[in-house]
Amino acid sequence: MSSSKRGAFIVIEGLDRSGKSTQVSLLRDRLQDAENAGPTKVVMLHFPIRTTAIGKMIDAYLHSESELDDHTIHLLFSANRWELASTITAHLAQGTTVLADRYAFSGIAFSARKGLPYEWCRAPDVGLPAPDLTLFLNISPEVAATRAGYGLERYEKEEVQKGVKQVFDKIGREMQEDGGSEGKWVEIDAGKTKEEVAEDLWKAVEPLVNGVQGSIGRLWE
């Protein structure tokens, strides 16, 4: 990588049972093996990061071991991203690719679905490191429901997923119209086979594997 390039920041978003976890792991392996420039350094983050003090509160909430006001849990999810913001920026500056499983878009989608105002939901994430590319694994909640069963966590229900999908679609439309500091939003048809989805993801990611030019953007600034 030339010295004027930094690592790429790539985010994967999607509903539960869109194949997101599987695809993120496949993509990480492929990034590590990228042949053209020798192995690419890649760091994978899965938001929420449940190991920090804030992350432990989020984990307890998701397991229904605690009850929190909708505003409170929303701000904790955002704070959990801010905890990692300087780490993300440092990795990118060193030329490391950062691959995140969920990010601020999940934050908005899951909270706006509950009826919190969209703009209010977005506000605490304004200024976070912006992804260069967000890949949305698109699947209808009905098709997702035909896949293997949901787990036991809060939100893992078809009704919730339907509402979340509507907000994700709104975010996607805005990002595609805007094309501003928040990077590119690309929809991937997650209803295809695992191999086909992996191939479609790779096509979108490959141009970024050797790093990107320019400084890191700030979300919605």
Q: Which residue has the tokens 């997650």?
A: 190
Q: Which does 106 bind (CB under 5 to 8 A by kind): ligand 2DT, Mg ion, none?
A: ligand 2DT
Instruction: For residues 11 and 183, give the distance between their C-alpha atoms in angstroms, rounded to a whole number.
Output: 10
Taking CB under 6 A as the binding criterion, the range among 4-12, 99-107, 183-191, 194-202 that sits at the site for ligand 2DT is: 99-107
Residue 24 phi, psi dihedral angles, 5° rounding: -65, -40
Taking CB under 6 A as the binding criterion, the range among 100-108, 138-146, 183-191, 206-214 that sits at the site for ligand 2DT is: 100-108
Instruction: For residues 54 and 66, give the distance between their C-alpha atoms in angstroms, rounded to a whole number.
Output: 13
Q: What is the CB neighbour count within 10 angstroms for residue 148? A: 5
Q: Which does 105 bind (CB under 5 to 8 A by kind): ligand 2DT, Mg ion, none?
A: none
Task: Kindly write out the interface string for residues 108-127 of this chain, putting x where it contacts ligand 2DT by CB under 6 A and - elsewhere.
Answer: --x-----------------
Bond from prior residue into 48 cis (ω within 30 degrees of 0): yes
Find the binding residues for ligand 2DT in span 10-49 (CB under 6 A). Answer: 47-48
Task: Kindly write out the interface string for residues 148-177 of this chain, putting x where it contacts ligand 2DT by CB under 6 A and - elsewhere.
Answer: -------x----------------------
Residue 33: both structure tokens together? 């093996």
Judged by beta carbon, residue 100 or residue 209, the one nearer ligand 2DT is 100
CA dihedral 220, 19, 99, 184 (to 10 degrees): -40
Q: Which residues pair with 117 in a beta bridge?
A: none
Which among 210, 180, 189, 158 has a CA at the least distance from the CA of 14? 189
Q: Among residues 106, 134, 138, 161, which is the contact residue for ligand 2DT, using CB under 6 A?
A: 106
Q: Contact positions toward Mg ion, by CB under 5 A?
A: 16
Q: Contact positions toward ligand 2DT, by CB under 6 A?
A: 47-48, 62, 77, 102, 106-107, 110, 155
